[in-house]
Amino acid sequence: MWEQIRANQRRSVVLITGLAMILVVMGLVIGYAFGGPEGGVIGVLVATLIWVVQLFAAFAGGEKLLISSLNARELARDDSPRLFNIVEEMVIASGLGYMPRILLIDEQAPNAFAIGTKPETSAIAVTSGLMVRLNRDELQGVIAHEVGHLMNRDVRFMTIAAVMLGTIIILSEIMWQTVRFGGRINTRSSSRDSGAAQFQVVMLLLAVTVGILGPFLARILYFAASREREYLADACSAQYTRYPEGLASALEKISRGAKSLTVSRAIAPMFIVNPRAAATDDEPSDNMFSSHPATVKRVRVLRAMGGGAGLAAYEEAYRKTLNKGLFGSRSLAEAPAVEVRQGSDEGPIESRQEAKATVQRKAGYLAVHCDCGMEMRVPPVFENEEVVCIRCGSKIPLPPLAERYKQHLAEYGVDPNGSPADDPANMEPLQYARQGGGWETVACSCGNHIQLGPAFRAPRLRCPKCKRKIQVNQPAGR
């Protein structure tokens, strides 16, 4: 939507300029306080340099790092056709023009986020907890919200802003360290001239003030922008799905099931609800330093849209609920008025089944198809050689366990128990026949010797060194 992107861009320029000004002023004042006029110039240069270097780092490999840190797996179409279809529907509805990658995080806390500063790297990630809890309409609302973030180019924008905020915090940190350990630098020059000394003191006080106020102001700016972007993405979601209730009830479910995820502060604004907030029973609220608006407020706005689903209806609901404007009326002149559609009658059960299937398939479960049309998934550690169909009762033979292990290993690079197959921990148990009831020594294949006491009665143990299983056959009569 042009008008909305344009409104966004105006706000983005304001925010970035504000942050840049704070950055430059901090560099200037801190540099000046410690090194005179030349120091001021150097301070500005250093501040810019830190920013550029960090920005480069954030754009170069931020996504990969994030994906691996969250243990996200990329999904193929066959893994989760439903989720793929929902994303495709929203890509069509929004006119995004490209298909983002889809990632699954095996995590109980329901949440979702969008990442990627470029179309090729952008991805939408959902947790399995989200898929399990939401029905189709709700999932659609959440995906539309994330597609809205991609449409509004929020990821790129918030990355730039987060890096600026980070640089400002680093600068103030540098200043504090210098004040604490480097006080001597100024005293030498100031001893000659009391006027200059006074000036130095004033500059130092100014630097301290800027050091305190800079990060404070920058945080306020940054989080205000972050919260606004959430509302914007909500508005987009309502518009794409034509069904604000879907997102509203999804948000309620998500906030009810909220559990904190370990994610960095910089990407927290990309999540649908704040991933760093811990679950509490009392009504969550937002303040100047929240990355997300309070979920109750968002739900209230969505439900106040009164039969409309367009940006204009959202703007009106926003104004009614929160007594201020979001887009500004000018940008909405061309926005088409749209009406809410009917919800789908699909229950959460399909979603839950598919979520489970997706997670299990990604965890290396073997899909077994019965002739009656039933699909069962067998865990990789399942030791039986056949499985009984839970519907028609017929027995389906499975490939030998060793073969399943091998296949699993080839596909996932780890053995079903989570460690390489040549690890002694996964070898066949070592057989040891107990001679009598006294002290005995078991020689493990790794060369380790294990003492068994007279009181040892357990049927098996693990070698403490190589973790190989050892089957202890007690003599008859014991």
Partner 1 sequence: MGVGIALLVILGLAVVVLLWAVGIYNSLVRLKNEVDNGWAQIDVQLKRRYDLIPNLVETVKGYASHERETLEKVIQARNMAMSAAGPAEQAAAENMLTNTLKSLFALSEAYPDLKANTNFLALQEELVATENKISFSRQFYNDRVMMFNTAIEVFPANMVANFFPGKFTKREFFETTEAAEREAVQVKF
Query: Which range of residues in 27-35, 251-259, 335-343, 378-386 is near partner 1 by CB under 8 A?
Result: 335-343
Query: Which range of residues in 18-26, 333-341, 439-447, 450-458 is near partner 1 by CB under 8 A?
Result: 333-341
Query: Which range of residues in 45-53, 158-166, 200-208, 344-352 is near partner 1 by CB under 8 A?
Result: 344-352
Which contiguous run of DSSP H or E holds residue 443?
strand 440-443
Q: What are the φ and ψ backbone dihedral angles of 397, each rounded to 5 degrees?
A: -70, 145
Query: Which range of residues in 62-70, 83-91, 217-225, 262-270 is near partner 1 by CB under 8 A?
Result: 83-91
Is the distance from CB of 353 to CB of 347 less than 8 angstroms?
no
The CB-of-80 to partner 1 minimum distance in angstroms stands at 10
| CB nearer to partner 1: pick between 373 and 436 | 373
The CA distance from 418 to 437, in Å, is 36
The interface mask with partner 1, positions 226-245, x = CB under 8 A, is --------------x-x---
Query: Which range of residues in 192-200, 257-265, 285-293, 336-344 is near partner 1 by CB under 8 A?
Result: 336-344
Q: What are the φ and ψ backbone dihedral angles of 115, each rounded to 5 degrees?
A: -135, 170
145 binds partner 1 (CB under 8 A): no
Q: Which of 90, 254, 263, 313 binds partner 1 (CB under 8 A)?
A: 90
| CB nearer to partner 1: pick between 16 and 376 | 376
Q: Which of 35, 89, 196, 300 binds partner 1 (CB under 8 A)?
A: 89
Cross-strand partners of 308: 339
271 secondary structure, DSSP code: B
- Name the residue among 305, 266, 61 with its Cα closest to residue 158: 266
The CB-of-7 to partner 1 minimum distance in angstroms stands at 15
The CB-of-239 to partner 1 minimum distance in angstroms stands at 9
The CB-of-135 to partner 1 minimum distance in angstroms stands at 13
- Sign, CA dihedral 18-156-261-286, equals positive
Alpha carbon 229 to its chain centroid, in Å, reads 17
Query: Which range of residues in 89-97, 150-158, 225-233, 403-411 is near partner 1 by CB under 8 A?
Result: 89-97
The CA distance from 195 to 401, in Å, is 86
The CB-of-325 to partner 1 minimum distance in angstroms stands at 22
Scored b (16 or more CB within 10 A) or e, 290-315 reads: bbbbbbebbbbbbebbeebbbbbbbb
Token pair 């009391």 is found at 194
Q: Which of 118, 265, 391, 457 binds partner 1 (CB under 8 A)?
A: 391
The CB-of-51 to partner 1 minimum distance in angstroms stands at 31
Q: Which of 37, 61, 81, 418 binds partner 1 (CB under 8 A)?
A: 81
The CA distance from 57 to 166, in Å, is 13
DSSP H helix total and E strand total for the chain: 12, 13
Q: Which of 4, 8, 94, 255 binds partner 1 (CB under 8 A)?
A: 94
Tokens for 275, please give them. 């991933």
92 binds partner 1 (CB under 8 A): yes
47 binds partner 1 (CB under 8 A): no
The CB-of-377 to partner 1 minimum distance in angstroms stands at 11
How many CA atoms within 13 Å lie on the side-chain side of 338?
Answer: 20
Cβ burial of 124 (10 Å; 0-12, 13-18, 19+) is: buried
- Name the residue among 393, 408, 85, 43 with its Cα closest to residue 210: 43
| CB nearer to partner 1: pick between 97 and 438 | 97
| CB nearer to partner 1: pick between 173 and 346 | 346
Tell me the residue ranges of DSSP E strands in 332-401. 366-369, 375-378, 386-388, 395-397
- # binding residues, partner 1 (CB under 8 A): 28
> Could you confirm whether 146 is annotated as catalytic?
yes
2 binds partner 1 (CB under 8 A): yes
The residue annotated as part of the active site, out of 63, 107, 138, 146, is 146
The CA distance from 381 to 39, in Å, is 65
347-386 positions binding partner 1, by CB under 8 A:
350, 369, 372-375
The CB-of-471 to partner 1 minimum distance in angstroms stands at 40
88 binds partner 1 (CB under 8 A): yes
The CB-of-81 to partner 1 minimum distance in angstroms stands at 6
428 binds partner 1 (CB under 8 A): no
86 binds partner 1 (CB under 8 A): yes
Scored b (16 or more CB within 10 A) or e, 191-205 reads: eeeeeeeeebeebbe
Q: What are the φ and ψ backbone dihedral angles of 450, each rounded to 5 degrees?
A: -120, 130
Which residues here bind partner 1, judged by CB under 8 A? 2, 81-82, 85-86, 88-90, 92-95, 240, 242, 334, 336, 338, 341, 344-346, 350, 369, 372-375, 391
Catalytic residue set: 146
